[in-house]
Every structure is written in C-alpha cells, then in structure tokens.
Amino acid sequence: MIYDVIIIGGGVTGVGTARDCALRGLKVLLLERQDLTAGATGRNHGLLHSGARYAVTDKESAAECIRENKILRRVASNCVEPTGGLFITLPEDDLAYQDNFIKCCREAGIDAEAIDPKEALRMEPSVNPALIGAVKVPDASVDPFRLATANALDAMLHGAEVRTYTEVTGFIKEGDRIVGVETRDTKTGAEEKFYATITVNAAGIWGHHIAEMAGCEIRMLPAKGSLLIFGHRVNKMVINRCRKPANADILVPGDVVCVIGTTSDKVPFEECDDIRVTPEEVQLLLREGCMLAPSLAQTRILRAYAGVRPLVASDDDPTGRSTSRGIVLLDHEKRDGIPGFISITGGKLTSYRLMGEQATDLVCGKLGKNARCRTAELPLPGSEKDLMEGAKGLKMAEKAAIGRQGTMVSKMDFANKSEVLCECEHVTRAEIAYAVKYLDVHNMMDLRRRTRVGMGTCQGSFCMKKVAAALAEELGCPEKTDEFVQEYLRERWKGMIPVCWGDALREAEYMRKLYADKAGEGEER
C-alpha cells in the first residue's frame, strides 16, 4: 500500500502535520521511534508564548507567536490555560529596557501593558516583592503532552495511522526520489518497509540524522535546555524577566506544578539520546528561579529534566540564542535535488500548528491536492467545550479527568472503573482504560504522558504497583506488571537524582524501602 505522506517524528510538529494532512484528506502514516512526545515536546516549559519574549530580538517570531497564541486558546482550549504573564524588572535590571520592550511588543501586535509593581504583586502574590517594574502580557500555559496527544488522536480519528516504537533505519529511493522508508520495531526488532509519495522529516533534533540518511545536510545546533519541576504551583501567572533573554528566567505554572527554566548549552549530537542535568545547572536554575519567585526556595523540587531544541544554525553562536526561532521548511527537491522529501524544523511549541500548516501546504502542492487548512478553526478532541463549569458536584477524580481529557471523559467508564489508582494526580482506572484504548499506550511511561500517572509529588512511589497491574491488565499482558514497575522506577529515578536532597531524598529513601528492600522486586540487585 502506498501512503500519500509518511511523517517521521511523533513530537508536536509531527502530530500537528499529521492532523493537518489527515484533515485535508490525505492518507497518512506517522512513525515515531519512541513514544509520542518523548523528545523535546515533552521536555520544555509548557509555555504558550505571547511572543513578548522575542519582541525585541526577533519581531517576526513574536508576531507569529501572538497569532498562534490566539488560535490555540480557541482550538486547544482544554490544553491551554489563559494564565496571563508578567515581565518583571528587578533592581539589578535596567528599567529603561521596559519602554522599548513594550514598544516592540505593540509593534508585533502583542497587548503589553505596564502595570504598577504593587498591582503586579496583588495579581501574582508569589512574584519577587523587590520588583521595580512589571508588564502584563497574554502569555499562557499549555500542556504539551495533552496538546500533542489531542493532535495525534484527531489524526487517527481522521484515518491516519500512528506507529510508535518504530524507527526509520533507511530510505527507499527510486533514482534520487525518495519513495519510502525502511523501519525497525524497537521492541521486537521486526523490519518493515513503507511507501509514500512524500516523506516529511519532522524529527526535531534527530532530523539532522534523518536528513543525512536521505543524503542531504541540515546544519542543526543541538541546544540543551534544563528545567526543574516543583511539587505544586507557587505562581498563577507566567513570570518572566524583562531583559534580554537569558538563562532560567521563565517560571511557568503547568497543570498542578510549576516549572523553572531553562539553561541553554550546545551539546554534541551523541548526547541527545541520554541527556542529563548537572548539579551546576540545578544550582543556576534554583538561584535564578528564586529571583522570580522567592518562595521557590522553600518549595520541594520533584525532578530535573532536559530537552534539546532543534535549532537550525545560522551563525556560530554557541549558546544558540541569537539563532532565529523561526520556522524552517525545506523542500529538498529544490534545495538538494531529492524529490519526495521535505523537512519541517526550527520553530517552537507555540508555532507547531503553523509549522504543520506550512508543511501540509507544501505536501498538498506536490501532490496536486487542493484542500484548505482547517486546523485554525476545528477544535481538537477534548476541547469542544468546557465541562468544568458544570462539574461542581462531581468526584475529584472525575474533575481531574475533565481537566486532562476534556470532553473525551464521555468515553470513560467511571461507573465500573472508579477506583483512584494514582492518588497524587487523581487518576482512575477508567482514565487508564481510556488511554489504552484511544491514546496508543504501550508502557508506564506512555501512560504517564497521557494521564499524569506518577507525575505527582510521590513520583509513583505509592501507587505505581497498582497502576502497573491495571495497565498490564488493560493491555492484556498481566505478566508484565513487574517489568513495568522496574522500568518505571528507573525512569523516575533518573529525574530525581539531580535534586536528591531535602524532601526529594526523603522520597528516594521511601521509594527504595518500598521497592528495593523487599525480596522479589529487588532480584536484579
């Protein structure tokens, strides 16, 4: 069978492109070598930029951000929380920067308004009370897992096929033209071939390697960004520093946690698959974070994580900050003489939809298909309407499920599967069963990205066994429970050890007591 389009990469760009292609009636196959959102999509702030951050340095990106920001508030309402944002000036910053900043914002179409520092403190009590200036902007918080998953789900509902844990190992060519891909199932090792008229490289930083396999070069610059997650929200609004963008100057409230980030350092390509946060980065993030919201000093850090931005190099700046955050769409037929192959990269979470639109426009052009993009109009599954308003008398776990899955809760069997399995995040058996049925879940990590299972304060310590057993049963492989638990413990541990002091160390001791000290589970020691 021949697909119209194969999309490589299950990040937000890939699934966004897949949804757009599917909505325009194309026959779509999406390939992802790990899980959806396993790369940079699931390893960032979760910030829906207003564009203000780029207003001074990159007006084009800024204008793009505010346009997309407005669209996503509408079509992805269940993934976006309209928190608003503040850009604060601290005594050590130059207050003069603020005027130019507001001017640039307005030129880009961003509604930026200077407010009295006292008013800022009232709106956002966690903000550093030493502030001497504040600007209110329409930043928002977006859940990248939810956003990408809703795109993938809608793509599937419109006929797209999604294959995770399927790695592209090579291209099938007819002359210079790419006509398909060779793949390997990373779980079973099984090899397969798929054919399509057009192949889209949407693999983020790994797109560098995909392009090499295809016989061309995209000069990408892997820029590692580390972040810290705190146990709960200290802030209601996004808090930024009003100065030239620097390290660790954004604090975002995301779902029930808040996230400080990021650092930015060039890393070699070899490290992109196993990226770790260093003690120095943790110190820096914490120090700078406390400048934005001093109470972070008393707030428990749950874990540290890092992602790699797929920046496309425009000069030799090692920090990657002066590269444009603009969208890079490459027609390799024109650029490199490779027909049937295009790359969509650069950009940012906020502009993923536009990236999908531009890539799909190019695909349609090549296929001679004349169909209009509708992703700016059609709400994503789950975002059709806000169910929270009528949820007052519902059980906590049902409300939490609405918060995560929006209108898709109608697919959940709360009557028979009401048991709360993950208590920190109030996840029921019903939501787990739903995720398994609709959201392409193969293991605990996948389930975590779809439902927040184990993302809470205990990092899964208390409920992971119950959750693993339920998942294994829903997947029809109850014998895998222990394997799920062990796999999950290792993954959680990785994020805990960079911040393993204070309460995180207490949690670590508890986790070890529960799972490593007992006979049976500790067999591998």
Partner 1 sequence: MKFDVVIIGGGLAGLTAGVELQKKGLRCAAVAEGLTLNECPREEFIKLGGTLFPGDSVIGGHIVDDGDGKSLEWVETRNLVGTRLEAPYYILSTGKFFSRGLVSNMEGITEPVFGCDVEYAGGPSEWTVQEFFDDQPFEKFGVTTDAESRVKIGGKVIGNLYAAGEILAGRQDIVTTAQKVAEQIIGRKK
Partner 2 sequence: MQDKNISKDNFEQCLKCNLCTTVCPMMAANPHYPGPKQAGPDGERYRLKDPKFFDLTLKYCLNCKRCEVACPSGVKVGDIIQKARLEFGKQHNPVRDFTLANTDLVGSLAVPFAPIVNPVMAAKPVKALMDTFIGVDSHRTFPKYSSKKFTSWFKSSKAPSQEGFDRYVHYFHGCYVNYNYPQLGKDFVTLMNACGYGVRLLDKERCCGVALMSNGFGAQARRNANTNIGAFRRAGGVVLTSSSTCTFTMRDEYEHVLGIDNSDVRDNILLTTKWLYDKVEKGEIKLAFKKDYHKKITYHTACHMNKMGWAIYSTELLRMIPGVELTVPQQQCCGISGTFGFKKENYPYSQKIGQELFDTLLESAPDVVACDCETCKWQIEMSTGLTVMNPVSILAEALDIEETKRLNRV
CB of 259 to partner 1, least distance (A): 20
| Distance, CA of 159 to CA of 511 (rounded, Å) | 42
**Contacts of residue 93, Cβ cutoff 8 Å, sequence gap at least 6:** 132, 241, 242, 243
Q: Which is nearer to partner 2, 115 or 256 (CB)?
A: 256
Say if CB 314 and CB 328 are below 8 A apart.
no
Residues of span 454-493 touching partner 1 by CB under 8 A:
486, 489-490, 493
Q: Which residues of 206-224 are buried (b: 16+ CB within 10 A; e: fewer)?
A: bbbbbbebbebebebbbbb
Minimum distance between the CB of residue 298 and partner 2, rounded to whole angstroms?
5
Examine residue 525 and tell whether it contacts partner 1 (CB under 8 A): yes
444-448 long-range contacts (CB < 8 A, ≥24 apart) are: 444/468, 444/471, 444/484, 444/485, 444/487, 444/488, 444/491, 445/35, 445/38, 445/487, 445/488, 445/491, 446/35, 446/36, 446/164, 447/471, 448/488
Q: 133-158: string of b/e by CB count within 10 Å (b at 16+)? A: bbbbbbbbbbbbbbbbbbbbbbbbeb
Q: Closest approach of Cβ 468 to partner 1, in Å?
A: 15
Q: Does 424 bind partner 2 (CB under 8 A)?
A: yes
Which one of 396, 413, 437, 517 is in contact with partner 2 (CB under 8 A)?
Answer: 396
- In angstroms, the CA 255 to CA 81 distance is 8
User: Which residues inside 233-292 make contact with partner 1, applying CB under 8 A?
Assistant: 279, 283
Q: Does 82 bind partner 1 (CB under 8 A)?
A: no
59 binds, among partner 1, partner 2, none (CB under 5 to 8 A by kind): none
User: Residue 200's closest CA among 377, 319, 81, 343?
Assistant: 343
Q: Does 122 bind partner 1 (CB under 8 A)?
A: no
Per CB under 8 A, which region of 1-9, 36-44, 149-157, 282-290 contacts partner 2? 282-290
**Any contact of residue 145 with partner 2 (CB under 8 A)?**
no
Q: Compute the least distance from the CB of residue 509 to partner 1, in Å.
A: 5
What does 500 bind: partner 1, partner 2, none (CB cut-off 5 to 8 Å by kind)? Answer: partner 1
Binding site for partner 1 (CB under 8 A): 279, 283, 486, 489-490, 493-494, 496-502, 505-506, 508-513, 515-516, 522, 524-525
Binding site for partner 2 (CB under 8 A): 231-233, 253, 255-256, 283, 286-287, 290, 297-301, 388, 391-393, 395-396, 399-400, 403, 420, 423-424, 426, 456-458, 461-462, 501-503, 506-507, 510
